[in-house]
Amino acid sequence: MSKFSELINQDKPVLVDFFAEWCGPCKMMAPILKEVKDSVGDAVSILKIDVDKNQTLAATYQVRGVPTLLLFKNGKQLWRQSGVVQKNDLISLIKSHQ
Catalytic residues: 23, 26
CA distances for 64 relative to 29, 34, 55, 69, 97, angstroms: 17, 24, 11, 12, 25
